[in-house]
Amino acid sequence: MNAKLMRVVQQGEAFAVQSQKSENGQLMKCNIVLQEMGGKFENQYVATMLGNMATFKLAPGDVVAVTLRFSTREYNGQVFQDILLTDFYKFN
């Protein structure tokens, strides 16, 4: 995967969700809106942050290098796309 430089637009609050894959049965999750670098009208993405990454607070305007994983799934004849933030580095 390639890292991409993006700007944080907003980040939601982290909340716990049930997960059979975690040790204690719960996993932290939050959504984040990221915008590609460039102008005011560059592409924006709503991605999911999971685990310890979800508890890290980012402010609007922060510049981060991110890797995103795009996946699709079918449910009841409809196709949904998920975007997962797999790694990030915040620039000071």
The tens digit of pLDDT for each residue in 15-64 reads 988 877 767 788 999 999 999 998 889 999 999 999 999 999 999 999 99
Total residue count of the chain as it appears in this document: 92
Strands (E) across the chain are located at 4-11, 15-18, 26-36, 44-50, 63-75, 78-90
pLDDT number for residue 21 = 73
What residue numbers bound the domain in which 32 lies?
A: 4-90
Q: How many domains does the chain have?
A: 1
pLDDT number for residue 26 = 87
> How far, in Å, CA of 62 to CA of 41, rounded?
17
pLDDT number for residue 2 = 81
Averaged pLDDT for residues 52-78? 95
pLDDT number for residue 20 = 77
pLDDT at 1 over 70: no
Cβ-Cβ contacts under 8 Å for 11 (sequence gap 6 or more)? 30, 31, 32, 33, 49, 57, 58
CATH classification at residue 23: 2.40.50.140
